[in-house]
Copies of this chain bind each other. A is one copy, B any other.
Amino acid sequence: MTRKKVNLAFIANDSARKATFKKRKKGLMKKITELSTLCGVDACAVVYSPYQPHPDVWPPDPRAAQHVVTQFKRMPEMEQSKKMMNQESFIRQRITKAAEQLKKVQRENREKEMTELMYKCLMGRGGVQGLGVGELNDMGWLIDERLKEISKRIDEGLKKGTGGAVAEKKAEVVDLGGGVERQQHWPFAEWMGSTSAGEEIMLQFNEGNNQNQNHNNNNAAVMWSNAFFH
């Protein structure tokens, strides 16, 4: 016997479920690609896999979906070259500007999405009940990664917007015990906006063994970035 009709319910058996997951995810991704190519349409899928720390996103580089905007951006100049500065082309110009602004927002959104997914993944991993010290530490170093990236960006001169302000903020420190005390900031609070009571949320996670914390920590962050449009 090879195959019976699929019972559309949660597969209880762990290994069978994982096998099915892998197969069907692959199939799904293929279908997405096919739909895109066959019909010339932008399509994207996100799967919050319990088997990977980060969600699967397809296509791997969703920014490809932005070709339309890019194409559009190139248009107005051609229109303008005719020196036909009528109302329509004027609006085109305006929209182009707005599209540029939009790109900026998208960049910001990416960062927020990353934060969101970071939380989701860590919280979802192994069920809610099982969120112990290990997971908290994982969360801590993931946050540290994001933190470093942001600090780097601030240093690189993108001090406009929230960046500069964040750099001046004083951080509340939560010491998880042991280890060398490191003072770091929590710029996420800035992104998230202040609470309704005006309270500032700042966090720091210190690990007991944080001496070599700066080594070998980039992979996840890079994966993350790759998964989301960068």
A binding-site residues for B, Cβ under 8 Å: 6, 8-11, 17-18, 20-21, 24-25, 27-28, 31-32, 34-35, 37-50, 65-66, 68-69, 71-72, 75, 87-88, 90-92, 94-95, 97-102, 104-106, 108-109, 112-113, 115-116, 119-120, 123-124, 128, 131-133, 136, 139, 160-161, 174-177, 188-189, 191-193, 195-196, 201, 203, 205
Contacts and interface: CB of A to CB of B under 8 A. Distances in A.
A102 B119 contact: yes
Given A100-B195, A101-B189, 10 more contacts: A24-B38, A68-B128, A69-B119, A91-B176, A101-B188, A105-B191, A108-B112, A108-B193, A109-B112, A109-B113
A27 B38 CA distance: 14
B45 A21 contact: no
B105 A192 contact: yes
Contact of A94 (B32, B91, B119, B201): B201
